Amino acid sequence: MIVLATALVPSVAIASTATAAGATHDPIAGTGSSWSANALDQWIRNVFDNYGWKVTYDNSGSSAGRAAFSQGTADFGVSEIPYALSGSDSPDLRPTRQFAYVPIVAGGTAFMYNLVIGGQRVTNLRLSGQTLANIFTGVITKWNDSAIAADNPKLTLPGITIVPVVRSDGSGTTAQLTSWMRSQFPAIWTAYCAKAGKAICGITSNYPIVPGSAFLGQQGSNGVAGQVALDKSVGAITYVEDSYALNARFPVAKVLNSAGYYTEPTASNVAVSLLAAVINNDANSPDYLTSQLGGVYSNADPRAYPLSSYSYMIIPTAVEGRFTTNKGLTLADFASYFLCEGQQQAEVLGYSPLPINLAAAGLAQIQKIPGGDPLNKDISRCNNPTFSTDGTNKLAATAPQPQECDKKGADQCLTGTGGAADVATASNSGSGTTVGGVGGSKSTNGPNGAGSSSGVVGLAGGGNPVIAGSPIDLPSRGLPLPTLLLMILAVLVALLAIVLPPLVARQRSAALANAPRGPTGRVVKRIRTRARLGGVRTVLTPKVHLPAFIRKGGRASRPTEDS
Amino acid sequence: MPTEPKTHTRVLEAELGTASDELATEVVAVVADFPRTLSAATDRPDIAFKWVARGSGTIVVSVMSLVGIFLLVQGFRAFHVAGPSFITEQSWDPNSGKFGIAAVLTGTVLVALTAIAFAFPLAIGTALYISEYSPLKIKNVLVTIVDLMAAVPSVVYGLWGVFFLSSNILPVSQWIATYLGWIPIFAVSGFDPNDPLATPTVFAASTFIAGIVVALMVAPIASSIMREVFTQAPIGEREGALALGATRWGMIRSVVLPFGRGGIIGGTMLGLGRALGETIAVYLIISPVFVIQPHILEKGANTISALIALRYNEASSFEISALMAAGLTLFLATLVVNFVASTIIARSRSGSQSD
């Protein structure tokens, strides 16, 4: 990767010397992805407070960002998807402006789930990529599917429906998930697309839902995370930025990488993964300057998280339209700030810092900005948390290795994940503590753990059931006779409560109407009580309903224009 | 108002006709006589007011037509590609040229009707209580509260719907589906009341939930229109009914409700107009589906305005054109509903007085 960066620098140096640096920091405006908006907003505040550079950002979506950049209304765009992406579902022509891509911030797509076994929340679910692809394409519909059981030898999974919760609005997270599925499991994804009735099947920002399936669409990352976190949503799983799972205090699934380890989307795992990302520098290629995440998806490092990706900033490389060298000065300095210094905050903001290869490539790209004179021209002065200023890759050396129990096999870690990291799945003392070790010789649970441990709900830790219990027959929902009778009784009581009072009142008033109008005991008494209660309106002598003929007459004699 | 002079002349002619039997020559002279031309002194403030009023009326109408024209121009490309299938196609995939509003338009109408089914009794009850029954002391407070409810932004109702209502209403949906599932609109496919492991999420994000939330938004508006009309019921007729011995409810039934019928219908239809266009609350709640979904309790709904809000962010230029075309249909539907509503209000007895 360093080779890549240095190879770029000479050609870039020529370009940057061609135009003089801008004189003042003019305000710049950008449009684009909401996925990266949290990080950008933070950086924009920081550079304004510290340097007084004015940057505005409108997070109206990746597609809007690409469109605004190519129309020239935005000085920079931010997008998860590059222009004219091969395999995208929408035609998206490259702009006539000259441009380059700069990686800005990385993140992992996490799978947040709500699964309860025997009244206890599962926090250590593990899933392979293929299983995930099958879940999000409706092939696997029950939690006790043998594929899920094979990934989780220590869980006795319940036979409840999987409810995949997907984004109902156009979203970069959806694009990242579909990009991964399309690249790794094209057959599964294509079959699903056809089933959902999509004619062009590619990377999409709008997740297709098959009508009548268990899929549920919700709006926004908060919407999907909130839906999964509901108590009633047991069995739901969604894809979301890791930070939303942390906020919801819910676990995320560990995903199997190509080294055979199940990993979590922590900041360091994502950064390690992205060490394998390459930027296409072949100017003749249709995907010129886009990233190739294929290497990330199949990164062989045991720490790698497969669904790692990053978003781009689209920057102009020539003075065109409204873009000036003064704006270029601001943009280059801003980019130089976030590629190095700004990455320090990435983890706090719920993202991952860019690893050395992407930061170096980005620094090379921003030197193409006309009028720019970035502070950090190469990684030697870059204060990025993933590497030292001397260019050594700190991240590759210090990122924690996965636990041995995360290796694919009969064993399974019991520690929690994501927002439920402090909640272990086994809470039972005694036998539960020993389960964390190697499964032992008694571990008879093969891939089909669900079937082999008969009648044990919860964890079956190598023959030592942590939560013991036996399935009982729930009463069928058909109504037993007493319930039915009580229901009918309740309906009758309700009906009487509605019907009786008016009937009684009518009888009484009829009786009163027929009574002689003299000061008889009853009527006079009634008048007195009303007088005391009513205050001003005292003269409502006996209440009488209008006789039918008066009512009819009154209505008929009404002027006809009252319609 | 314009009808009055006509009836006046008719009466005059009738009177003249009876008189003409005896004094024919004089009648001719009377007919030939021209009425004195009435001229009002138009001073500057009057002229200024006339032009300001006329100007703002013109601006409102032209802005409305410009919005319509804008939507038509923007959506023309989509109309051109889709052709008549724009009305009949259910799926929404503009990039492949296969898109139409059959599903979303049906969904819009269903959500609006569900909302009205809840809002109508609520609104009429509130309006009657406030105008007829409530003690004077709390009347103003109640009016303020209802008006305040109308002023609460719809996103607040939407958030309430998402984070509170949609999880707590599930047992109600489940109950209805279990015992009234034989009625086609309450049927829920994929729900088996005898399956203890069935997930209640089959009832989440449904037309029913979205309808209830929209109803809460619509009810205050409908209610304040109805209340306005009810309070205008002529005091003479009210007292007449009471004097004839009517109870308060008898009076309401024989005077207030017939008088306010126009207001009731008009208020409901204005509410319907708002329900059709309600965006944010629906957008937050529903799980969009692109088939005609007549089961209101079942997961999955869609409305035109929610579709626009959901798809706008990540839309290519042709998709935007398709969304504009869908927006135009919604614009026209809302316009028709509101126009009919205002006509009904204006033609009613109460409405003609309130104008």
The ipTM of this complex is 0.76
- Kindly report, residue by residue over A326-363, the tens digit of the pLDDT: 888 899 989 988 888 888 888 888 788 888 888 888 88
CB contact under 8 Å between B200 and A232, yes or no, is yes
Q: Which residues of B176-215 are buried (b: 16+ CB within 10 A; e: fewer)?
A: bbbeeeeeeebbbeebebeeeebbbbbbbbbbbbbbbbbb
Point out the residue among B245, B259, B314 whose CB comes nearest to the CB of A171.
B314
Residue of B nearest to A560 (CA): B349
Six token digits for residue A149: 């059981």
Query: Which residues from chain A sit within 8 angstroms of residue B346, using beta carbons?
Result: none
DSSP string computed for A11-62: HHHHHHHHSPPPSS---EEEEE-STTHHHHHHHHHHHHHHH---EEEE-S-H
Check if the beta carbon of residue A291 is closer than 8 Å to that of residue A85. no
Mean pLDDT of B185-211: 85
Extract the residue ranges of chain A whose pLDDT is less than 50: 1-18, 427-468, 519-532, 534-535, 537-538, 551-563
**Is the pTM for the entire model greater than 0.80?**
no
Q: Select the residue from A168, A195, A473, A530 to test the B interface by mutation, using most B Cβ atoms within 10 A.
A: A168
Residue of B nearest to A473 (CA): B196
CB contact under 8 Å between B95 and A160, yes or no, is no
Q: Per DSSP, which regions of A207-317 are E strands?
A: 216-218, 236-241, 254-256, 262-263, 278-279, 291-292, 308-316
Residue whose token pair is 């707590």: B168
Check if the beta carbon of residue A2 is closer than 8 Å to that of residue A356. yes
Separation of alpha carbons A240 and A186, rounded Å? 21
Give residue A395's Cα distance to chain centre.
27
Pick the CATH number of B60-354 from 3.40.640.10, 2.60.40.10, 1.10.3720.10, 2.40.50.140: 1.10.3720.10
| Model pLDDT, residue A543 | 57
Point out the residue among A170, A209, A562 whose CB comes nearest to the CB of B258.
A562
| Model pLDDT, residue B143 | 93
Query: Which residues from chain A sit within 8 angstroms of residue B170, using beta carbons?
Result: 232
CB contact under 8 Å between B197 and A161, yes or no, is yes
Residue whose token pair is 């009735």: A197
CB contact under 8 Å between A546 and B246, yes or no, is yes
Closest CA to A152 of A469, A403, A467, A459: A459
Residue whose token pair is 């205090």: A249
Q: Could you tell me if A234 lies within 8 Å of chain B, comparing CB atoms?
A: yes
* Residues near B137 by beta carbon (within 8 Å), at least 6 away in sequence: none
CB contact under 8 Å between B199 and A226, yes or no, is no
Query: Which residues from chain A sit within 8 angstroms of residue B317, using beta carbons?
Result: 67
Check if the beta carbon of residue A52 is closer than 8 Å to that of residue A25. yes
Strand A308-316 to A99-114 pairing: antiparallel
Signed CA dihedral, A217, A218, A220, A223: sign only = negative
Q: Could you tell me if A60 lies within 8 Å of chain B, comparing CB atoms?
A: yes
Which amino acid appears at position A540 of this protein? L
Q: Could you tell me if A280 lies within 8 Å of chain B, comparing CB atoms?
A: no
Those of residues 131-170 in A touching chain B at CB distance below 8 A are: 158-161, 163, 168-170
Query: Which residues from chain B sit within 8 angstroms of residue A540, using beta carbons?
Result: 242
Q: How many CB atoms lie within 10 A of CB B295?
A: 21
CB contact under 8 Å between A206 and B314, yes or no, is yes
- How far off is chain B from A209, nearest CA to CA, in Å? 7
Query: Which residues from chain B sit within 8 angstroms of residue A169, using beta carbons?
Result: 283, 309-311, 313-314
Those of residues 471-500 in A touching chain B at CB distance below 8 A are: 474, 476-478
| Model pLDDT, residue A542 | 56
Query: Which residues from chain B sit within 8 angstroms of residue A215, using beta carbons?
Result: 287
Mean pLDDT of B75-85: 90
Q: Select the residue from A219, A473, A507, A517 to test the B interface by mutation, using most B Cβ atoms within 10 A.
A: A219
- How far off is chain B from A544, nearest CA to CA, in Å? 6
pLDDT of B216 > 90? The answer is yes
Q: Which residues of B274-287 are buried (b: 16+ CB within 10 A; e: fewer)?
A: bbbbbbbbbbbbbb
Six token digits for residue A376: 């950090």
Residue of A nearest to B256 (CA): A555
- Kindly report, residue by residue over A176-235, the tens digit of the pLDDT: 898 889 888 989 998 998 888 777 777 888 888 888 888 998 888 888 898 898 888 889
Query: Which residues from chain A sit within 8 angstroms of residue B155, using beta carbons?
Result: none
CA triple A506-A508-A512, angle to 5 deg = 115
| Model pLDDT, residue A17 | 43
Give residue A46's Cα distance to chain centre.
27
Q: Select the more confidently predicted residue: B222 or A475.
A: B222
| Model pLDDT, residue A118 | 81
Distances (CA, A) of B98 to B85, B105, B292: 9, 16, 16
Separation of alpha carbons A370 and A323, rounded Å? 9
pLDDT of B180 > 60? The answer is yes
Those of residues 213-232 in A touching chain B at CB distance below 8 A are: 214-219, 223, 226-227, 230-232
CB contact under 8 Å between B348 and A562, yes or no, is yes
pLDDT of B19 > 60? The answer is no
CB contact under 8 Å between B194 and A545, yes or no, is no
Closest CA to B174 of B160, B190, B158, B161: B190
Rounded-to-10 torsion of CA A562, B1, B6, B12? 100
CB contact under 8 Å between A163 and B199, yes or no, is yes
Point out the residue among B167, B311, B348 whose CB comes nearest to the CB of A206.
B311
Separation of alpha carbons A126 and A150, rounded Å? 9
- HSE-CB of A275 using CA atoms within 13 angstroms: 22
**Helix and strand counts by DSSP (H, E) for chain B:** 18, 2
Mean pLDDT of B122-127: 95
CB contact under 8 Å between B93 and A159, yes or no, is no
Q: Could you tell me if A523 lies within 8 Å of chain B, comparing CB atoms?
A: no
- How far off is chain B from A120, nearest CA to CA, in Å? 16
pLDDT of B274 > 50? The answer is yes
Check if the beta carbon of residue B329 is closer than 8 Å to that of residue B308. no
Query: Which residues from chain B sit within 8 angstroms of residue A226, using beta carbons?
Result: 162-163
Mean pLDDT of B193-200: 78
- End-to-end Cα spacing for chain A: 81
* Residues near B130 by beta carbon (within 8 Å), at least 6 away in sequence: B139, B142, B143, B146, B223, B227
- How far off is chain A from B93, nearest CA to CA, in Å? 7
Six token digits for residue A400: 């924690």
Query: Which residues from chain B sit within 8 angstroms of residue A73, using beta carbons?
Result: none
Separation of alpha carbons A27 and A56, rounded Å? 8
Six token digits for residue B277: 């266009």
Check if the beta carbon of residue B90 is closer than 8 Å to that of residue A196. no
Highest mean pLDDT among A366-380, B39-53, B59-73, B156-170: B59-73
CB contact under 8 Å between A543 and B178, yes or no, is no
